[in-house]
Structure 1
Amino acid sequence: MSVVSLRGVTKRYGDTTAVDDVSFDLHENRIHGLLGRNGAGKSTVMRMLTGQDLPTSGQIRVVGENPFENAGVLRQVCFIKEAQKYPDIFLARHALKSAEMIFPNWDAEFAEQLVDEFRLPLKTRTKKLSRGQLSAVGVIVGLASRAPVTLFDEPYLGLDAVARQLFYDHLLADYAEHPRTVVLSTHLIDEVADMIEHVVVIDRGRIVMNDSADNLRSQAVTVSGPTKAVERFAAGHTVLHREDVGGYARLLVSGIPEGRDTTSLQVEPVSLQQLVVRTAQLSDSVLAGAANGKGELS
């Protein structure tokens, strides 16, 4: 069942189009990855989902309703972002207490456990917390809120590798016991790749991928070997990336050619990060070609 739905959503700021005719669904009890580069439109989408921005056009529904100025919807949505701001007078414990008052599914015992594990100083003012400690406040709120729709917009970037792994472990364990719709927006794709069940990739405000992670991984391969043999294998398929060394080539091929001769070739699965990065680079190349007169930009 779809919990979040966008249909033909566009968001403009003056002459800048941040989100351009975007449509996709986020389904109940699933971990989604909202991926893309800085400025791609990810944070704008999340702000619209949480009623902080209105779309210029199109329709947004969260748990079946428009989220803008809708307290009933927003109590079911937890949005945690990088560099989350709190009032200067707040201690860390005040931030958690405020979350407890907002979210009806708040688990105080779980929050206390996370405070201990992330070593969060509850009596320190939030403005005095380090970047890592502020990130810990955010992920604790996001996990302990148990909101039906939980959005993480890279709040864990401030955490060191050990603390990030702690977050991932707790997210998976708690999600297994208390399923909900989770959205992870991140640049650290390899770190979260095994957690993500559905992938939405946005680039220059447009959706360039929208599919299950398993389907995406099954639709591309990396093939390497003698150049001519590699090219015969890839003929008729989109090449997302190419490397040439002497008489050998290595190609990332979209689509898996069937019935091709693989003698002398090495065919390997592609990682989610490779697929996302190379697809975005291909999109850039197409746009650059259009801008250079090889096509038209709409």
Structure 2
Amino acid sequence: MIQMEQVRYSYQKNKDPILNEVTLHESEPVIGAIWGRNGAGKTTLMSLLAGHNRPQSGTIQVMGQNPYNNLSAQGHLCYIQENHPIGKNWTVNDLVTIGSHFHSQWDHQLAKQLTDIFELPSKQKISKFSKGMKTAAQIILGLCSNASVTIMDEPTNGLDAEKRKIFYEALLETYEGNPRLILISTHHIEEVQPLCETLIVVHHGKVLYHHPMEEMRERGILLTGLVQDVEAASQGANIIDSARMGTTGKVMIDDVYSKEWMVKAQHHGLSIEKAALQDYLVNVTRKQEGARV
């Protein structure tokens, strides 16, 4: 469905690339999360996939076509930016009408349903909406497009917990009705990870990980106990974070949470738990930072 091969991109010539030799394949319909720290290159990656920019080198294909300056390829795409450009005088009714013109598989029923659930005034200018209401309008455009490749950059920004839940439920429902590739860039990885089948981690302009979410959920082990016991149990392991308070130590290890680790923790009198995915990703990318210095 999408293919990036050795893609390099910089906003200015002779500057360090924002993306450098990125290769990324996704051949099946999935809901995938894109995670990375600020400045990692996530937005650039998405804009290249959407055909908004042309790579300096390498190739990009979406549904077998180069997306850049290609109307045929754009027919398969919907890219919702974090602050999506919407006409100054557009209403939700205008958004739905224009969206249906650009996307042949537009879901009118879902658009009406989401407009009602998000409590959006259909005849009021979107430019007058609150941040959360603007986000809801963008969600309608993204989900109702039914595009084969749908990319949404931070789609829940500005939504309260209840509205985020509505979005997640609508996302699953529309995906089950029409499986397609939906990529979501997010900082709220703990919230979206139950919905996603794959995780793409972007770090310093490269794809650091592209693995099944189920596999990534199992990484990250926390060991806590007496400092000497923690040191003995973690000797030789890939430690990505550590802390000490008096005689108590705590480490995070980059490994799969397993029965073997539980047995080892018990043997050394340590408590063991699975690290939160967000904490694991922050620490593993921070460790990469240290490796670059």
Q: Does 1:135 align with 2:135?
A: yes
- Give the equivalent residue in structure 1 for 2:271: 266
For 1:176 and 1:56, the matched residues in 2 are separated by 37
For 1:112 and 1:13, the matched residues in 2 are separated by 40
Any stretches of 5+ residues in structure 1 without a counterpart?
291-298
Question: Does the CA-based 8 Å contact 2:11-2:17 persist in structure 1?
Answer: yes
Matched AA of 2:7: V
Question: Does the CA-based 8 Å contact 1:96-1:137 persist in structure 2?
Answer: no
Q: Give how far 1:62 is off.
A: 0.9
Q: Give how far 1:151 is off.
A: 0.6
For 1:234 and 1:96, the matched residues in 2 are separated by 56
- Give the equivalent residue in structure 2 for 1:283: 288
Deviations 1:149-188 (A, max 9, x none): 1111013202222111110111112212221111010111
1:194-213 matches, cutoff 5 A:
194-213=194-213
Question: Does the CA-based 8 Å contact 1:26-1:32 persist in structure 2?
Answer: no
For 2:167 and 2:127, the matched residues in 1 are separated by 22
Q: How many residues align?
A: 286
Matched AA of 1:131: K
- Give the equivalent residue in structure 2 for 1:295: none
Q: What TM-score do the two structures reach when normalised by structure 2?
A: 0.92
For 1:63 and 1:193, the matched residues in 2 are separated by 25
For 1:197 and 1:227, the matched residues in 2 are separated by 37
Q: Does 1:61 align with 2:61?
A: yes
- Give the equivalent residue in structure 2 for 1:23: 23
Question: Does the CA-based 8 Å contact 1:213-1:272 persist in structure 2?
Answer: no
Deviations 1:195-247 (A, max 9, x none): 12111111221222221111123333112122222222222221111121222
Matched AA of 2:278: Q
- Give the equivalent residue in structure 1 for 2:42: 42
Matched AA of 1:279: V
- Give the equivalent residue in structure 2 for 1:243: 243
- Give the equivalent residue in structure 2 for 1:33: 33
- Give the equivalent residue in structure 2 for 1:223: 223
For 1:185 and 1:115, the matched residues in 2 are separated by 23
Deviations 1:11-48 (A, max 9, x none): 01121421111112123221111111222111111111
Q: Does 1:7 align with 2:10?
A: no
Question: Does the CA-based 8 Å contact 2:220-2:277 persist in structure 1?
Answer: no
For 1:217 and 1:83, the matched residues in 2 are separated by 30
For 2:46 and 2:114, the matched residues in 1 are separated by 25
- Give the equivalent residue in structure 1 for 2:149: 149
Q: Give how far 1:126 is off.
A: 2.3
C-alpha RMSD of the superposition: 1.6
Q: Give how far 1:5 is off.
A: 1.2
Q: Partner of 1:156: helix, strand, or coil?
A: coil
Any stretches of 5+ residues in structure 2 without a counterpart?
none
Matched AA of 1:7: E
Q: Give how far 1:146 is off.
A: 1.4
- Distance verdict in 2 for CA 1:234–1:217, change over 3 Å: farther
For 1:213 and 1:251, the matched residues in 2 are separated by 23
Question: Does the CA-based 8 Å contact 1:36-1:202 persist in structure 2?
Answer: yes
- Give the equivalent residue in structure 1 for 2:121: 121
Deviations 1:50-106 (A, max 9, x none): 110001111111112211122222111111111111222322211121111111111
For 1:153 and 1:198, the matched residues in 2 are separated by 16
Question: Does the CA-based 8 Å contact 2:227-2:249 persist in structure 1?
Answer: yes
Matched AA of 1:261: K
Matched AA of 2:19: V
Q: Give how far 1:139 is off.
A: 0.4
- Distance verdict in 2 for CA 1:27–1:247, change over 3 Å: farther
Q: Partner of 1:202: helix, strand, or coil?
A: strand
Q: Partner of 2:10: helix, strand, or coil?
A: strand
